[in-house]
């Protein structure tokens, strides 16, 4: 359902983003935060994320995530598992990342060690 027209710069058009004076490091942080909030806090996922699915614009310092395509829900248990895996990568605790995969049943128990 389309509710309004939104003018923006496609996220894949890095030349236009830079020409508009947008701080790409800040934009990257904001997009990552939006993704993590949507997935881990709110429980939504997008099944086909790529630059064509997002547009940014500078009205103040706003960014708009336009969703086209398959969306779904992530249950609370899976969100917690994903958060633990992400924290393992952030902390470079790859043993914990592997353990979480086994604990969640993503890897069969007979495949360990």
Q: What is the pLDDT of residue 71?
A: 83
pLDDT digits (tens, 9 = 90+) for 51-75: 666 666 554 556 565 656 778 899 9
* 29 and 52 assigned to the same domain: yes
User: How many domains would you assign to the chain?
Assistant: 2
Provide the residue range defining the domain that includes 35. Answer: 9-73
Q: Are residues 67 and 82 in the same domain?
A: no
Q: Is residue 3 part of a domain?
A: no
Q: Domain check: are 21 and 48 in the same one?
A: yes
pTM over 0.75: no
- Dist. CA 92–CA 107, nearest whole Å: 20
Q: Checking DSSP bridges between strand 55-56 and strand 63-64, what pairing results, if any? A: antiparallel
- In this structure, the answer to whether residues 47 and 69 fall within a common structural domain is yes
Q: Do residues 81 and 69 share a domain?
A: no
48 catalytic residue (yes or no): yes
Q: What is the mean pLDDT of residues 12-33?
A: 85
**Which of 48, 62, 75, 93 is flagged as catalytic?**
48
Could you tell me if 19 and 54 lie in one domain?
Answer: yes
């Amino acid at each position: 359902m389309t509710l309004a027209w939104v003018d923006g710069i496609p996220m894949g058009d890095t030349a236009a983003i830079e020409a508009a004076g947008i701080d790409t490091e800040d934009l990257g942080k904001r997009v990552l935060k939006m993704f993590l909030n949507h997935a881990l806090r709110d429980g939504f996922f997008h099944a086909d994320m790529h630059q064509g699915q997002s547009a940014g614009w500078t009205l103040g310092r706003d960014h708009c995530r336009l969703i086209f395509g398959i969306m779904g829900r992530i249950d609370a248990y899976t969100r917690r598992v994903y958060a633990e895996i992400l924290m393992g990568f952030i902390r470079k605790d790859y043993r914990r990342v592997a353990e979480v995969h086994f604990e969640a049943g993503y890897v069969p128990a007979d495949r360990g060690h």
